[in-house]
Amino acid sequence: MSMMSSTQSGHELTPKERKKISVLVIESDPDTRQNLRACLQKLGYGSAYFVGDHLAGEKVIAERPFTHIIFEAATTTMPPDAFLTKALTYDSKIIALASSSSPAVDDVFELLRIGARGFLAKPVSVESVDLALLMATKGERFSETILNSKNRNEAFAALAAATLDKAATALRQSKDFATARRDYPHFMGDLRNSVRLGATFAKGGEEQFREDMIEFFVALAQGPASRLGRLRKRLRKQRRVPGDEGGSEEK
């Protein structure tokens, strides 16, 4: 499944918003650190601080605030899950992204359970860094249903169905409501992202997720109307749809 570009995400970070972002990068590989530094500078993010291991990162977080963290999903001087838990005790609102050359492994998904808002696949590029930070900052958060589901593939298929329902509703109402025209690109971006996430983290890989997603949508279409109605009702509770109302530094 091809990588979604930041222009397809339906979300954006303005230059002013980028300038307000401060990123702590925890990366043990010097070449990857240099690459991340170049990417963040080119993208216009406000500031970035680089360290080579999790323990050093924890010490920095204790001394100064950051809006975002990009941290290695592999153990360095402490396990990444222990680091993330500690980081969130310092600031529960910090937006953390786990970086990994194998984001499909269960370890990365476990970091999402703990509180990471996204992931960054290595090797990195300007486009992948921008997309990862954009979706972690502006995209929909992982729901507890997804994170705690016993059937991960079905949960991601349900997420895709939910975002599709939002996009379809906004498209249908876009002729009459300015809010629907505004929200439609966002919902389409969330739909693309939900499929991308499902393909990355599904049990059995991308091909298995595609098969499970098709089965889920077929069952949803063939099931009783009340099933789809219940899904839509849950969506409206989660997020009201239009029409329901009348420089860089381095260590």
pLDDT score, position 248: 42
11-38: pLDDT as tens digits: 788 999 999 999 999 999 999 999 999 9
- With beta carbons less than 8 A apart as the criterion, state whether 244 and 173 touch: no
Least confident piece of the model among 92-96, 105-109, 165-169, 193-197: 105-109
Q: CA 41 to CA 142: how far, in whole Å?
A: 28
* Average pLDDT rounded to a whole number, residues 224-230: 53
Q: CA 155 to CA 216: how far, in whole Å?
A: 10
- With beta carbons less than 8 A apart as the criterion, state whether 65 and 22 touch: yes
Q: What is the DSSP letter of 28?
A: S
Q: In what order do the strands lie in the sheet with 68-72?
A: 47-51, 22-26, 68-72, 95-100, 118-121
The chain-wide mean pLDDT, for the chain, equals 84
pLDDT score, position 8: 53
pLDDT score, position 10: 56
* Average pLDDT rounded to a whole number, residues 42-59: 97
Q: CA 168 to CA 187: how far, in whole Å?
A: 9
pLDDT score, position 222: 75
Q: CA 16 to CA 36: how far, in whole Å?
A: 21
The Cβ-side half-sphere exposure at 68, using a 13 Å CA radius, reads 31
